[in-house]
Amino acid sequence: MLNFLIKIFIKDKDNMLDRKVRENYGLLAALVGIVSNLFLVGLKVTIGILINSLAVIADGLNNLSDMVSSVVALISFKISNKPPDKGHPFGHGRIEYVSALVVSFLILLVGYEIFKQSIGDILNPRRLDFDPLLIGFLILSIFVKVWQMLVNKRIGKRINSDTLIATATDSRNDVLVTSGMIIAIMFSFLFNINVDGYISLIIGIFILYSGFNIGKGVVNILLGKSIKKEDADKIKAAVIKYDGILGVHDLISHTYGPTYSMVSLHAEVAEDVSIEISHELIDKIEREVAQELGLFLVIHMDPVIMNDARLDSLKDIVCDVLSSFEEDLSAHDYRLVDGKEQINFIFDLELPLGFDETLKPTLEKKLIEEIKKIDSRYNLVVNMEYSFIS
C-alpha cells in the first residue's frame, strides 16, 4: 500500500538530496496520519460512549492529539522547504524542531487531562458494557496503528526525520495501550472487576511520559546536540579519501534542520606541498563533499611536518600512551620548538565528551615520563580539548 502511494504522489522518489522530494515524503506521512487518526478518533470515542468507558475515550483523545500532531507536521514540512532568505540565510529547516516542541506540549496537555479524569473515575467507577462487536472495532484500530507505525518508520528513516521516527514509536505505543485496554475490558467482563479508571490512569501517565521525552529530545537539539559518531565518521571518510589529505580532526557540526548542517573541520596536508596546490585541493573537497552529503562544509588547512625522525618517534610514543587508556583519545598538530636548555614538544589532545577529569593529571604525567626517556630536555606542552562528537 505504501509503495503504491509513494509511486503515485512522489516523483523522483529516490533523490533524497532534493528538498522537494523530502517535503513530499513528509506531506504524505502527515496526510496518512491525519486521515487514519481522524478515523480512529471517531471510532474510539463512539465505542467509549457506547460501553461507558473513559479509558477508550481517553485512547480516542490520544489519537486526536496524534491527528493534531500530523497537522503540525504537515505545516512544518511546507515551511521548512522554503529557500533561504535575507533573514534566514541557512533556510527554515529548524521549524521542524519547533513544531515537534509544539506537538510535545499538546501531548502533555492531553496526558494531563486524561490523568485528572482517571482519578475521578477511580474514586467513582462506572459500569462497563461489553459488546464483542465493539471489541472487534478496537482490534481494527490496532491494525490501523500498526500501519501508521510502518509508514512513519519507513518514511522517517528514508528522509532522516526524527519527528516521523518518533511518531512511529508513538504509534507502536498506541498499539500496546489499546491491546492492554482490550485485555482490561475482557478482565472486567469475565471477573466483574472494573479496572477502567486504573487503565485510564496508566494511559495518562504513559502519554505524559511520551510528551516529556519528545520535548526533551527537541530541546537537546535546539541547545546544540553533538553530532553522532557515525555521521562524523562518514564526513571524515568523505574528506580523507582524497589524495593529499593526511588526517582530519576538530570536526564541528551545527544543525539547521534534519537535512542541512554547517560543518567545519581541520584537514592535514603535507607542509612541503605548495600552499596553492593544497588550497586548490581544499576548495575542491569543500565543493564535492558538500554536494555529496548535502551540507555546508568549511575546511581549515593544517600543514603537517613530514620526514622528521625526532617528531615521528615522539608521535609513536604519544600513540602508545593514548592506546593504553580505554577512552577514544587522539592527538594532532605536533610540532617541536628548539631552545637552548629545553625543547618544547607541542600538540593538541582531543578528549571524548564525558572524559573523566580525574584522569587528566595521570595522562599528562604518563606522557611526560615517556618522552623524557628519550631526552630529558623535552618539555611537554599539550592542549587538552574536548571533541564535539557524541
Q: Which of 305, 327, 356 is the last residue of a domain?
A: 305
Please state, in angstroms and rounded to a whole number, the distance separating the CA atoms of residues 97 and 219. Answer: 8
- 130 & 243 share domain: no
Higher pLDDT, 267 or 122: 267
Query: For 337-354, what is the mean pLDDT?
Result: 89
The pLDDT, as a whole number, for residue 14 is: 66
Strongest mean pLDDT among 5-9, 24-28, 323-327: 24-28
- 71 & 32 share domain: yes
CB atoms within 10 A of CB 121: 20
- 231 & 368 share domain: no
- Domain with residue 390: its CATH number is 3.30.70.1350
- 279 & 328 share domain: no
Query: For 99-105, what is the mean pLDDT?
Result: 79
Please state, in angstroms and rounded to a whole number, the distance separating the CA atoms of residues 2 and 113. Answer: 34
- In tens, the pLDDT along 56-87 reads 787 777 787 778 777 877 887 788 878 888 88
- State the cell numbers at 133: 462487536
Q: Which of 253, 274, 305 is the last residue of a domain?
A: 305
- 270 & 144 share domain: no
- 107 & 205 share domain: yes
Is pLDDT of 351 > 80? yes
Band of pLDDT at residue 241, cut at 50, 70 and 90: very high
Residue type at position 346: I
CB of 379 closer than 8 Å to CB of 347: no
Query: For 80-95, what is the mean pLDDT?
Result: 82
- Domain with residue 121: its CATH number is 1.20.1510.10
- What percent of the chain lies above the pLDDT cut of 90? 21
Q: Which of 288, 305, 322 is the last residue of a domain?
A: 305
Is pLDDT of 286 > 90? yes
- 253 & 239 share domain: yes
Range of 352's domain?
308-390
Residues in the chain: 390
Backbone angles phi, psi at 260, to 5 degrees: -140, 125
CB of 281 closer than 8 Å to CB of 299: no
- In tens, the pLDDT along 261-284 reads 899 999 999 998 999 999 999 999
CB of 245 closer than 8 Å to CB of 269: yes
- 207 & 236 share domain: no
- 6 & 140 share domain: yes
The pLDDT, as a whole number, for residue 128 is: 63
Please state, in angstroms and rounded to a whole number, the distance separating the CA atoms of residues 220 and 388. Answer: 14
Contacts of 372 (CB under 8 A, 6+ apart): 378
Number of domains in the chain: 3
- 243 & 216 share domain: no
- 146 & 211 share domain: yes
- 388 & 344 share domain: yes
